[in-house]
Amino acid sequence: MKKTNAILMLFLLVFGQKICAQITQLEFASGIAKTDFTSFSIRSIDDKKTFSIATLAFFQKYHEKENEVFDELGVQTTALWNFSKSILIGPSLYYNSVAGFSERISVFFSIKTKRFSMAAIPSIAHMELTNFINGELFLQMQFLQPLKNDWNALLSALMLTHWDKFLTHSRSFQQVRTGLSYKSTQFGLAVDFDQYGKTPITKTSIGLFVRKIFINK
C-alpha cells in the first residue's frame, strides 16, 4: 500500500547530488510470488534547476489467486526543492488502488560517494480514506564495486515502515538486490519481504530484476 514512496526515494538516489539531471528509469522485477513494473521520470521546471517535478507509476501483481488482495497500482507526483547539496524537501499527491488518495511531505537526507550511497527519509502522510495522519520512515543503501571497464558488482537494500497515526503498524518491507551494473543497466537477484497490517502478514518473493536508467542533461 505505502511502498511507492520508498520506490521514489530509490530513484532519487540514482541521481543523488545530480538533481539537475533529467531522468527516466524503468524497472522490471519478477519472482516466485509476484511481478513488479515501475516507471519514474523527473524534469526541472526552472532555469536554475532548483525545482523539479517527479512522476512515478508502478504495478505489483501477485501470482497466486489467494494473494491477489495485495495487488497494487499506484501513481505519485512530487514537487522537489533542492534545499542543499544533501537535503531535499517535497510535497506529493499519491493515488493507490488499495488505499486511495493521500498527500504527504518528506525530507530527504542523503550521502553519496563514488561507490556508496545512503538515504534516510522521514515522511508525514494524510490519508483521504481514513483521515489519519501517518508516519513513515525509509532507509536505502547501495554499494557498487568496480570490476572491469564499465562493469560493477551491485548490492542494495531498501527498508520501509509505515504506521497509522504513528502508533499502529500498517505496512513494511525489505528489498535486497544483488547483481551487476553495466553503464546504465542493472540486473541480478531480487529478494522481497513484505509485511501487511496491524498483526503483520509476511509475504516473501525471490526472483530476478532488470533496471534501465536514461539520463539527459
Task: List, for residues 20-79, the tens digit of each pLDDT value.
Answer: 557 788 889 999 899 988 888 878 787 777 787 878 888 889 999 999 998 988 888 888
3-state SS string for the chain: CCCHHHHHHHHHHHHCCCCCCEEEEEEEEEECCEEEEEEEEEEECCCCCCEEEEEEEEEEEECCHHHHHHCEEEEEEEEEECCCCCEEEEEEEEEECCCEEEEEEEEEEEEECCCEEEEEEEEEEEECCCCCEEEEEEEEEEEEEECCCCEEEEEEEEEEEEEECCCEEEEEEEEEEEEEEECCEEEEEEEEEEEECCCCEEEEEEEEEEEEEEEEC
Three cell numbers, residue 124: 508525514
Task: List, for residues 193-205, the tens digit of each pLDDT value.
Answer: 989 889 999 999 9
Task: List, for residues 114-126, the tens digit of each pLDDT value.
Answer: 888 888 888 899 9
Distance of alpha carbon 25 from the chain centroid = 12
